[in-house]
Structure 1
Amino acid sequence: MNVSYRWLSDYIDLSGITAQELAEMMTRGGIEIDSVPSRNAGVSGVVVGYVKTREKHPDADKLSVCTLDVGTGEDLQIVCGAANIGADMKVPVAMVGAKLPGGLDIKRAKLRGVESQGMICSAKELGINDKLLPKEQQEGILILPTDTEVGRDILDVLALNDSIMELDLTPNRSDCLSMLGVAYEVAALTGRPLELPEPSKDLYLSSDKTSDFVRVSIKATEQCSLYTARYIKGVKIAPAPQWIQNRLIAAGVRPINNIVDITNYVMLEYGQPLHAFDAAKVAGGRIDVRLAQPGEVLVTLDDQERKLEPQMLVIADAEKAIALAGVMGGANSEVTLETTDIILESAKFDGGTVRRTSRQLGLRSEASARFEKEVDPARVRDALDRAASLIARYAEGLVTEGIAEAEVSTKEPVKVELSLSRINGMLGTELSSLEIKTILSRLHFVAEVSGDGVWNVSIPSRRGDITHDVDLVEEVARLHGYDEIPTTLIDGQTTAGALTKPQAIRRELRSIMTGAGLHEAICYSVTSLQRTTLFKELSGETKPIPLAMPMSEERSVLRTTLIPSLLEAASYNITRKNNDLALFEIGNVYHSDEDVLTRLPQEKPRAALLLSGNRRSAGWNRSAEAVDFYDAKGILEKVLERLGLGKKIAYVAAQPEGFHPGRTAAITIRTDRGIETIGYVGQLHPELQREFDLSDTYVAELELAPIYEYANRHIEYRVLPRYPAMERDIAVVVDRNVFGGALTEAIIASAGELLESVKVFDVYTGDRVSSDKKSVALALVYRHGERTLTDEEVTETHALVLAQLEQSFGAELRK
């Protein structure tokens, strides 16, 4: 919203307050002012001149020699190159010594041998945006109205000695989308009286009745609560007065003609959009506010054909739609130079309806910007009368008696109870009742005392943002002055902030995985229906959860597992020659057992990783090394060990869908409830690798809920060993289907507290063992924390280990 400082002065005395000071005051009061540019771009010494004669230049076809009266008593001779210059015109004249924007100084000059004593100016040369001028004024010199006083400073004529405050309004302060709204705000901030225009002043009434010419009905009662219209006869279409044009241009609105300009002027003044119809084009003199009919089409004032939908609100006559309600008028009822009678509209349309129509059609206007934020219903009739009176004065129209209107509902005034204790308690102030009543009166709010320090405050309809007492407390705070509110320490019990256990674990996961060289990916939470059918063991029995309004088929349902998102990210990188990938993601998946949702789906937190390409690239002294299963498993082991779960986790061979059948393990956790599978790690199935155009790729996905429950993030410190260890290596022959993990678990269970560690260091399947057997070599380390072990103790424990292996797996010591 651009607010003219001079225009604002019509409603409130701003003497002693500059535009910059007022902008600072408003910004401190909660209405941010982005900038306060001056309309004068550097013009001085330019006055109104009257062209007495125009003659062709003797030596130049495109130049004219003009004689001008500039009010000094002495005519000036000026050479002009504009094609639209002519005798009997009034134009801006920059006399010798004048200054123009861009540092241009006007001096005496000779053009093709003819002396020129100044310069006749165009709008652009005066620093005015000529795109905001009427079309006929956009080329050549600026032609002024014939009644403009000769010799008058052009700064006064065009209101260039003005400043424009550019308001950056938040959506809740739509009341300041009008000059009167800003005037109320300034009056409240300054405490100065407000002078409002009289809407019906100079309203020249005809003896005819409005009801004889126009009838109004509202059929879409939910989309329009009030519609009013006046009928004005005998208007003469012409340019609007210069002062109205000046104010429109200052606000960034292009003047068109007196009727349209007056409706725009009143819209800016009252915040109430209006529209004028050519009465001769309104069939049957009938106005119906209704929803659009299926297949209905309307050509709007911008000459664009709009295909309407049934939820769009239109203004219609007895035969056709003539306007998009609250957005733009129709070309079939446009006011033209031939118009003599008009129907003037002012209404209260539903903001949501106007916003949806504007968005669907890609058609945003000054009117829609106001309607969609809800206009003040109390100003609908006042704005109508104000515009009618201006049209009567400046378009010589006669306004018929009465208003044609339809009203289906009225909004009850908002009343809010406010207490002094509530204000001081929230602001930490010690304001008195008198100070509060003074602030409320400056806001033009009516406050009735309902108790000691308690008021019932009636909120004007123009302030639709105030509905609760906290809103009034905010008004008190900003008018009292935010700088005046004392700084106080927080009183009461405080609690030190901390991360929850899941938050801390997720942070730890990110730290470990990034430390291991992985990059975090943040993928879409929506995917295609086809992707949800992959990795069924990870998805479970969930049903697809579709979006109500998907962006595309590829983003139409909520994801049920993280791995497909990482595969898409990997494929995207591979096609861009980024072949060595190490990615992870921590996020939610969404599961539901309902075909049609009646309750919210389950959000399950998970972590996933993906490795592809080489763990180490080739160099002059080494060959490249491709990632394998043990890289993925090693990262998981590091993560789970750091979270204190190393002894609870086991890896069991598995063949889940989507994974390589021989290179995949289920990740299990030992809990109070038994052994639970919390995820899988392994190579991607070759068919999926081909589908995503990937080389050998390894993935893993973990449920985080059990990890949140059982993780122990506290680091357990142990003293350095003071006593020596005893190492025993064994090689046992077992069936080929026995896993090394099963052997180490059996050893840990049977060796007891003397065993410090056990690991597999070799597996042999050569000629020296049977084809259905394999030799597994294990290194065992025994140590006691408080004394030196004896050979007898270690031998006895080692014998128990061998016996357990023989009993459980039929293991034989390899000779």
Structure 2
Amino acid sequence: MKISYNWLKNYIDLDPAEHSPEVLAEVLPLLGFDIEEYEKLGPPQLNNVVVGQVLEYIQHPDADRLRCCKVSTGNEGEVHDIVCGAKNFKQGDKVMVALPGAVLPGDFKIKASKLRGQPSAGMMCSAKELQIGQDHDGIMILSADTELGMPLNDLYTDGDTVFDLEITPNRVDVLSHIGVARELAAKFGLSVQYPEVKASIENGSNGTALISGVEVSAPEFCPHYTAICIKGVTIGPSPKWLKDAIEATGQRSINNVVDVTNYVLHETCQPLHAFDAGKIQGGKLVVRMAEAGEEITTLDEVERSLTADMAVIADAERPLVVAGVMGSLAAEVDQDTVDVVLEAAYFSPTSVRATSRKLGLSSDSSYRFERGIDPKGVTYAALRAVDLILEVAGGRVDGNQIEVGAEPPTLSEVQLSPDRVRQFIGFEVSDEDIQNVLESLGLVIAVHNADDGSVRWEVSIPSYRQDLQRDVDLIEEFIRVYGTDKIPESEVVARGISTQDHRIYTVNEAVADYLTGQNFDEAFLYSLRDPEETKFFFGEESFKVLALDNPLQSDQSHLRPSLIPGLLDVLKLNAARATGATRFFERGHVYREVKGQMVELVSVGFVIVADQLSREWRQREVADFYTARTLAGEILEIAGTAASKLTFKPIEQSQLWQPGHSAEAGDFAKMGFQATAGLLNMAILKDRWDIKTPIIAGSILMTPKFFERKAKRGRHLGISNQPASAKDLALIVDESVLAGDVEKDVAKFARKATQGFDCESVRIFDQYQGQGLPEGKKSLAVSMSFRAADRTLKDKEVNRAFEAIQKLISEKTEYQIRK
């Protein structure tokens, strides 16, 4: 909603010193109306831009869209040849002319030249080109009495400020300048000066010479409809004050009568519509539901098909208006209009909203109707518009105001207690202050004193504030206008263990979120395990150190050294119950023996059934070692460790893990953690848990000191939209060399070899052993991807980096490059 500062001054006495646009820019958001845009209107200092007059014009001989004009600026009979593309002027019109030497906004310099072979010494300007309006569809047409040759800055001395406000749906009353003026008046302690209505028209149903009457066959859609006939209007350009006001709202000035209807809409929030009376067939208006498939061409020149649940205002032959949304071309007011029928009505908000959405058509009118306009504002807005039409277009009112139906009922009173206000806001404020604020908003308060000494108020609600329905709504209004800055400071007391959660807790929560997102179910298990299990998997020393002095049960006598055995119990139970659950994780504490002493560790463990057990038409990809390693790496990244730099070493011997198919990384002494991932020992699984399917698992153990270190924060880089360039390389290495080590070496060399772009990935995608290779050797195929963030890489850049990588490999390692 665009609000003009100059326009607001018509209703409240804004002191430029106390209530400047800058002050309003601070106050309006505090009242609940955010400012989306704050724009100053008015031309800058523009030299050589003066008032001119079109003496004559002819069609350009070589361009259909151009005219060759003779324009006088009143300088001793001097006439300027100007070529112009606009069509909205005629001979004798006064216009704004930029002469050679002028520099328009945007550093647009005017000089004498030729356009399509014809001389042009200047430019006739639109309002937008001069920053004095929004109209850019044609050049500015000034009033006939404007002095010829007057400079632009002498003619337009006052600028304006326009606020584009974000209004919440419940505050339809503020979708108007009077509505905003009421809010500011309440805040600044000012009084609102409502425009005086001078037209005196008695309500009645008598016919007129223009139309015989109005029939409403859909009262549930239109409970109140009024029409006023005006004869003998003169359609033409709007006066400057009206045109400036319309353009300040971002609209284009059309003509004086249509501009008045738009002006009153933005002034009062009541939409209006003006019909050309001569185009109404049958001399009667009918408010009815449309016929299915009925068509109408709306003012945006789009032909629309209507449905039976849409209301229209029609004449005897066809629909003229989509009720509450938009008029049609069939009865629009144009240059030939001499008689006008002015409509003002109340339409059902839900019906207008449904029609607007079905048609995909929104307008200033529908925007207000669908939110619920003031039911009691219809007649006032109609009479206000009549006054303005008679002022700017002449004519006379013909007959009585036609009125069908009546104003819909509105909520009249809300009960409120001053004690309730103080209890709700949490600080002391006097009854007088509360009453003054509420009355400044147009609310009327009747005070009732009870026998017990309490005070009860009956607050009368204006018809334009139907959003106020409960006592809490009135309390909100009070604190909004009274000012949240006046709320006394008080100490906020929040009792807690610490100022922030410990990292162990936050990491645990983040890990749980991640694993549940990977389709894991979380298990919560006892921290006590069977003594024989502890001895079997972790040895005699652990058996001694982790034993409880006084266990309650013989099979729960030892602190658990790992989460994995408990998770295997969970898998076995779910398999027996045929639940279909095959992925579990647990977070918790485990205990290990280190140099004869027990240490407590923070742990995360997970298990996955590698085979697909359920009967499905589509086979899913089974988990393997790389699945477990990736999950373990992600958990370590969440904990604050750069897992991508870790090297997983194969496990050669273990009771729990399958040798050759599992690996571990990290150590407690230097890194503070240890991660193990891969396949669990299949023979042990079958023997101890009767599990015959492969189980992929991961176990991450972290010391308490690990969480005392400052965690590394992740860095996110923008995604390049440039193409990547790939290079492949085959290396012959000892069969004992780990593929991960080769991958890290190549990545390190790639970082050194690239300048101005990145090697964004290094990946081993193949391994070969056999014929053609020496005994004890294997071939690893490495793929490298290069990319620049700002350009497409050239072949020579990539080749240069690729050669440098190969050179570093030859110099720094024992790897052989396979040709």
Structure 2 unaligned segments of length 5 or more: list them: 524-559, 585-607, 625-654, 656-680, 693-819
Cα RMSD after superposing both structures: 4.9
Partner Cα distance (1:191, 1:509) in 2: 53
CA contact under 8 A between 2:261 and 2:272: conserved in structure 1?
yes
1:89 aligns with 2:87: no
Structure 1 unaligned segments of length 5 or more: list them: 499-503, 522-582, 588-604, 606-637, 668-678, 699-728, 730-757, 765-772, 776-815
Q: Secondary structure at the match of 1:224?
A: coil
1:68 aligns with 2:70: no
Amino acid at match of 1:69: G
CA contact under 8 A between 1:216 and 1:288: conserved in structure 2?
yes
- Choose which of 355, 372, 393 in structure 1 pairs with 2:353: 355
Identity %: 36
CA displacement at 1:490 relative to structure 2: 5.7
- Choose which of 226, 231, 234 in structure 2 pairs with 1:233: 231
Please list, as runs of the form range in 1=range in 2, the aligned pairs for 1:294-333 lying within 5 A after superposition: 294-333=292-331
With the length of structure 2 as denominator, give the TM-score of the two structures.
0.59
CA contact under 8 A between 1:36 and 1:165: conserved in structure 2?
yes
CA contact under 8 A between 2:206 and 2:400: conserved in structure 1?
no
- Choose which of 689, 696, 714 in structure 1 pairs with 2:618: 689
CA contact under 8 A between 1:327 and 1:354: conserved in structure 2?
yes
Partner Cα distance (2:69, 2:274) in 1: 42
In the other structure, the counterpart of 1:615 is: none
CA contact under 8 A between 1:65 and 1:80: conserved in structure 2?
yes
Please list, as runs of the form range in 1=range in 2, the aligned pairs for 1:597-746 lying within 5 A after superposition: 650-651=572-573, 683=612, 688-689=617-618, 694-695=620-621
In the other structure, the counterpart of 1:26 is: 28
Q: 1:244/1:279 Cα in 2 relative to 1: closer, same or farther (>3 Å)?
A: same
CA displacement at 1:376 relative to structure 2: 0.7
Q: 1:205/1:649 Cα in 2 relative to 1: closer, same or farther (>3 Å)?
A: closer
CA displacement at 1:436 relative to structure 2: 2.2
Amino acid at match of 2:612: Q
Q: Secondary structure at the match of 1:38?
A: strand
Partner Cα distance (1:46, 1:483) in 2: 50
CA contact under 8 A between 1:78 and 1:119: conserved in structure 2?
no
Q: Secondary structure at the match of 1:30?
A: coil
In the other structure, the counterpart of 2:7 is: 7
Q: Secondary structure at the match of 2:12?
A: coil
CA contact under 8 A between 2:48 and 2:101: conserved in structure 1?
no
Please list, as runs of the form range in 1=range in 2, the aligned pairs for 1:380-779 lying within 5 A after superposition: 380-407=378-405, 410-451=408-449, 453-489=455-491, 511=511, 514=514, 521=517, 583-584=518-519, 650-651=572-573, 683=612, 688-689=617-618, 694-695=620-621, 761=684
Partner Cα distance (1:307, 1:486) in 2: 59
In the other structure, the counterpart of 2:37 is: 35
Q: Secondary structure at the match of 1:364?
A: coil
Q: 1:759/1:209 Cα in 2 relative to 1: closer, same or farther (>3 Å)?
A: closer
Partner Cα distance (1:412, 1:505) in 2: 55
- Choose which of 191, 198, 204 in structure 1 pairs with 2:189: 191
In the other structure, the counterpart of 2:339 is: 341
CA displacement at 1:97 relative to structure 2: 8.5
CA contact under 8 A between 1:414 and 1:467: conserved in structure 2?
no
Q: Secondary structure at the match of 1:184?
A: helix
Q: 1:251/1:429 Cα in 2 relative to 1: closer, same or farther (>3 Å)?
A: same
Partner Cα distance (2:205, 2:567) in 1: 94
CA contact under 8 A between 1:439 and 1:480: conserved in structure 2?
yes
Partner Cα distance (1:495, 1:282) in 2: 75
In the other structure, the counterpart of 1:261 is: 259
**Residues 322-331 or 405-414, more deviating:** 405-414
In the other structure, the counterpart of 1:126 is: 130
CA displacement at 1:427 relative to structure 2: 2.2
How many equivalent pairs are there? Answer: 561
Q: Secondary structure at the match of 1:403?
A: strand
CA contact under 8 A between 1:51 and 1:86: conserved in structure 2?
no
Amino acid at match of 2:420: R
CA contact under 8 A between 1:428 and 1:488: conserved in structure 2?
no
Partner Cα distance (1:774, 1:406) in 2: 84
Amino acid at match of 1:275: H
In the other structure, the counterpart of 2:269 is: 271
Cα deviation 1:132-179 (Å, max 9, x = unaligned): 35x5xx2xx533221334465645756861111111112122211111
Partner Cα distance (2:93, 2:480) in 1: 52
CA displacement at 1:511 relative to structure 2: 2.3
Q: 1:280/1:90 Cα in 2 relative to 1: closer, same or farther (>3 Å)?
A: closer
CA contact under 8 A between 1:266 and 1:272: conserved in structure 2?
yes
Q: 1:111/1:341 Cα in 2 relative to 1: closer, same or farther (>3 Å)?
A: closer
Amino acid at match of 2:194: L
Q: Secondary structure at the match of 1:405?
A: strand
With the length of structure 1 as denominator, give the TM-score of the two structures.
0.59
Q: 1:241/1:412 Cα in 2 relative to 1: closer, same or farther (>3 Å)?
A: same
Partner Cα distance (1:586, 1:345) in 2: 66
Partner Cα distance (2:521, 2:395) in 1: 71
CA contact under 8 A between 2:52 and 2:73: conserved in structure 1?
yes
Amino acid at match of 2:392: Y
CA displacement at 1:45 relative to structure 2: 4.6
Cα deviation 1:669-709 (Å, max 9, x = unaligned): xxxxxxxxxx999616675116xxx55589xxxxxxxxxxx
CA contact under 8 A between 1:263 and 1:275: conserved in structure 2?
yes
